[in-house]
Amino acid sequence: MSVAGVAAQDGDYDIDGSQVDPIILAGNNGLTDAQTEWIKSENAQDAVIVGGESKVSLNVEEQLKDALTGEFKRIAGQRRQEN
């Protein structure tokens, strides 16, 4: 959940004026059907994967390619403090 601060920095704005950049937790086997359907229903454009391939599988990348209307990038480093 260390990504929460980054997600709050620049996101969309909810009806009450608060920022909204959802964080989706992916399981070892990828996104669930419900997560994928939600991404599609929200017409999500871009996403950032936070974590290396050992933490967030390549399967998630494939699922995002299919679900997003835009692009995604991955932030990862040798240590948690690197990117």
Residue 83 above 60 pLDDT? no
pLDDT in tens, 28-80: 889 999 999 999 998 888 888 888 888 899 999 999 999 998 888 888 887 65
**Phi–psi pair at 45, nearest 5 degrees:** -95, -60
Answering whether pTM is above 0.85, one says: no
Output the pLDDT for position 51: 87
Residue 1 above 80 pLDDT? no
CB within 8 Å of 55: residues ≥ 6 apart: 76
pLDDT band at 18 (very low <50, low <70, confident <90, very high): low
CA angle 55, 60, 65 (to 5 degrees): 145
Distance, CA of 50 to chain centre: 7
